[in-house]
Amino acid sequence: MTPLQGFSKDLFLNQQVVITGAAGGIGRAIAAAFAECGARLVQIDLPEAIPPNQSGWIGCDLEDRPVLMRAAEQIKGPVAVLINCAGIFRRMAVTEPDAETEWDRTLAVNLTAPYLLARALIPKLTGGAIVNVTSVRAETSAERASAYTVSKAGLAALTLSLADELAPLQIRTNSVAPGDVDTAMGHGDPSVAATLVARTPLKRMARPEEVAAACVFLASPLASHITGSTLHVDGGFLVV
């Protein structure tokens, strides 16, 4: 059974879905899942990551605030769903020389950009949904990854704040929190990945398509009375 089996092929028929980090492993799977459900996609990623000769893409360095704001202006409403998936992760101890720079960069991409993009799209999102891709690291530490951990914890907190603040506009805001996912980022350090899989009850990484299915569910009318929640796609990682 595929993760999307059971979802209607017209669940998001002709509805506009905006996805950041759409060229990455999880982002690509999310884009494919929404496309399979009939959505019209606006995909955002670094210019050098965008496939050549493809429409529906916006090249944007999310770390650059003016560039991000110009990208948001290119998105014409209405928007049914915003998926904040883009994220960066680099292991670096707080004592390393470049730690402060990495802190600023990680928080800019992983936390500030989702806030700014959500804020810019609110007028186009009335009645829509926001899904933030956080991480189990929002709730537990990771070795030499304070910037990433804090950025994802902040994004989880932002989810709660937006769920409360945007409810009068009927905009639902939720999070999907993956554990280790079978992507290039997830395989960054083989020894670390092996250790994490070993302590995961299901004994494997998530497939990107499994994370995508969770995003589709939370954005859809199937979750019409769910807001401010986090759906963990972690194979039970947090229960042990």
Q: 39-51 pLDDT, tens per residue?
A: 999 999 999 999 9
**Does 1 have pLDDT greater than 70?**
no
Q: Range of 116's domain?
A: 16-239
pLDDT of residue 148: 95
The whole-chain average pLDDT of the chain stands at 94
**Does 239 have pLDDT greater than 70?**
yes
Q: Is residue 200 part of a domain?
A: yes
**Does 16 have pLDDT greater than 90?**
yes
Q: Is residue 209 part of a domain?
A: yes
Q: Tally the domains of the chain.
A: 1
Q: Is residue 3 part of a domain?
A: no
CA-based torsion, 27, 31, 34, 66: positive or negative: positive
pLDDT of residue 147: 95
Q: 85-122 pLDDT, tens per residue?
A: 999 999 889 999 999 999 999 999 999 999 999 999 99
Q: Is residue 53 part of a domain?
A: yes
Residues 6+ apart with CB under 8 A from 107: 147, 150, 151, 154
Q: How confident is the model at residue 77 (pLDDT cuts 50, 70, 90)?
A: confident
Q: Is residue 64 part of a domain?
A: yes
Mean pLDDT, residues 167-191: 87
Q: Is residue 151 part of a domain?
A: yes
Give CA separation, 52 vs 23, 31, 161, in Å. Answer: 12, 17, 38
Give CA separation, 80 vs 30, 71, 216, 221, in Å. Answer: 15, 17, 12, 11
Residues identified as active-site: 148
Q: Is residue 6 part of a domain?
A: no
* CATH code, 143: 3.40.50.720
Task: Check: pTM over 0.85? Answer yes or no.
Answer: yes
**Does 183 have pLDDT greater than 90?**
no
Report which of residues 95 and 187 the model is more confident about. Answer: 95
**Does 189 have pLDDT greater than 80?**
no
**Rounded-to-integer distance, Cα 81 and Cα 25, Å:** 19
Q: Is residue 10 part of a domain?
A: no
